[in-house]
Amino acid sequence: MHHSQQREEEIQDMFKRIASITLSVLALTLGSATVSSAADGVCGSSDFCLYKNANYSGGVYDYSAALSENTYLGDNFFGAGTAVNNNASSSVNKHVHWVVKAYESAWQGGDPLTHRAAGTGCLAGQCPAYSTLGWADNAFSSHDNIWVP
């Protein structure tokens, strides 16, 4: 093989490898952009968020408002490291279609507190967000949800 031709092929191989790596990085970036934003410590537009303290402070746990949770056991507040179960003192539903009902006990037991869909305001004591939880303070252990078009 002619020396300069071999060199040219080596350079082409190198560019193919670079292109392949670039595509892999792009795929990873796109992949992470499309996965659920739940449980990343950021209360986003599809999340139902619980806070350790009143007024949305002291550590957050962001669940997906689109998914039921039968128990909060094993979940810890981001930024606080303490258990979510029986420790939430404020809550927010950011989803515009899922109504979230949080319950006193695991497996949707005990009394629920209804979180209306985001932007719908409070009605009959049901709000999208609660800066304090009253009777439900340090009690939430599970939630389920209802789709509202």
Of 59, 64, 87, 95, the one binding Ca ion (CB under 5 A) is: 87
Give the nearer residue to Ca ion in terms of CB position, either 54 or 126.
54
28 lines the binding site for Ca ion (CB under 5 A): no
For the four alpha carbons of 99, 149, 65 and 68, in that order, the dihedral sign comes to positive
63: tokens are: 């669940």
142: tokens are: 């599970």
Q: Which helix (H) or strand (E) holds 12?
A: helix 3-34
44 lines the binding site for Ca ion (CB under 5 A): yes
76 lines the binding site for Ca ion (CB under 5 A): no
- Of 25, 1, 84, nearest to 49 by C-alpha is 84
CA distances from 51 to 33, 38, 63, 103, 129 (A): 25, 14, 11, 15, 11
- How many chain residues touch Ca ion (CB under 5 A)? 13
42 lines the binding site for Ca ion (CB under 5 A): yes
Give the nearer residue to Ca ion in terms of CB position, either 81 or 149.
81
Of 37, 68, 71, 131, the one binding Ca ion (CB under 5 A) is: 37
Q: Which spans of this chain sit near Ca ion (rule: CB under 5 A)?
A: 37, 40, 42, 44, 47, 62, 86-87, 89, 104, 138-139, 141
